[in-house]
Structure 1
Amino acid sequence: MAVVTSIHRRAPDTDTFGGRLSRTRDSLGLSTAQLARRVGVRQKTIEQWESDRSEPSVERLSLLAGVLNVNMIWLLHGVGDAPEDDIGPDPLAAITAQLERLKRMHEDTGRIIERIQREMTRLEDER
């Protein structure tokens, strides 16, 4: 039986890029607006990255990793050493931010469902 070894001390983080980005930002107590200003993008761009609707360019990814003080490979792929899972100096603010993110995602999902339903109705009417 072959023995498999790993160069990493921890198992890969199975969260998505957006999840790792959001967790890290929250742990530093940064809002999406604050991170957007530091990286030089719009707040909506950060929100799209955190909801896995898009990913940053290599240059922005490198800048994100530097601003968040994390390894770029961990941020992108979840491989390597993760930052400590500290929710920051204000736990209530971090939890509130996560709740607001979930609410926005829920609203986005509702809009997508409505759009799909309208399209299905339109296609059925064309039959």
Structure 2
Amino acid sequence: MAESGMQETRALDNWFAPDVATFGDRLAGAREAAGLTQEELATRLGVRLTTLQAWEDDLAEPRGNRLQMLAGMLNVSLAWLLTAEGDGVDGPDAPPAHSPAAEEALAELVRLRAQVAGLAQELLSVEKRLRAVLRQEA
């Protein structure tokens, strides 16, 4: 459990690190930090909205000239966009701490959700068996 907490702290300290975030994550984070919508950035770059969305979803990568334009428009270094090294944006602030009662309630909710998912799978299995029996009887 202590290791998990340390990993969370490292992730919060370097939100866009290469082992935590992809190029698309860094692009979306820099765009949001610049206060731009996807539509606005796509228009400024002279690309289709679907092209920018594909970059942010890591389904495609921009060419070199567009990368340089992105870095300039978003006020981050080209190296940061590609590797998370250099000048970039900070991640979001750490979420506020919750009271022990709230944490306990959240844990119980997660446990109950897992139970419901298990019951749903069990119901599906019984339904399949019943359908098979009904087909055989018909």
TM-score (norm 2): 0.51
* Structure of higher CA gyration radius: 2
CA-CA distance at 1:63 after TM superposition: 0.4
Equivalent residue, structure 2, for 1:122: none
Please show how residues 1-127 of structure 1 align to structure 2 within 5 Å.
13-14=17-18, 15-85=21-91
How many positions carry a matched residue from both structures?
A: 78
Deviation per residue, 1:42-94 (Å, 9 max, x gap): 1111100000000000000000001001000100111123223369xxxxxxx
Whose relative contact order is higher, 1 or 2, with alpha carbons under 8 Å and at least 6 apart?
A: 1
Structure number with the higher helix fraction is 2
CA distance in 2, matches of 1:37, 1:46: 10
1:6 aligned residue? none
For structure 2, the residue ranges without an aligned partner over 5 or more in a row are 1-12, 94-138
CA distance in 2, matches of 1:72, 1:55: 13
| Identity percentage of aligned residues | 42
**TM, length-normalised to structure 1:** 0.56
Tell me, in whole angstroms, the C-alpha distance in 2 between the residues paired with 1:27 and 1:74. 14
Q: Which amino acid aligns with 1:62?
A: Q
* RMSD value, Cα: 2.1
- Is the contact made by 1:27 and 1:85 (CA closer than 8 Å) also made in structure 2? no
Q: Any gaps of 5 or more consecutive residues in structure 1?
A: 1-9, 88-127
Do 2:29 and 2:89's aligned partners in 1 also have CA atoms closer than 8 Å?
no
Letter in 2 for 1:52: D
Residue in structure 2 matched with residue 121 of structure 1 by the alignment: none
